[in-house]
Amino acid sequence: MADKRQKQDDGAERKARLAGQLRANLARRKAQARARRAGEADQRPDGLDPASAENGEDAPREGGQ
């Protein structure tokens, strides 16, 4: 019987520990989201660099070909 009670206690402790970790993780993620909203835009360029049209090979063709 003592073993069964010990397992129940261990399960309750585990649940409490996991709940605490979940709350801490949620708080950390909320802080990150707030920081992103309050921060300035990234200085890095988004997407690909524009194609160079110097020799015409990289430039888009007319008619979509």
Per-residue pLDDT reduced to its tens digit, 8-51: 788 999 999 999 999 999 999 999 999 988 876 666 666 667 66
Alpha carbon distance 42, 35 (integer Å): 13
pTM: 0.47
- Domain extents in the chain: 2-52
Torsion, Cα 26 31 37 39, to 10 degrees, reads -150
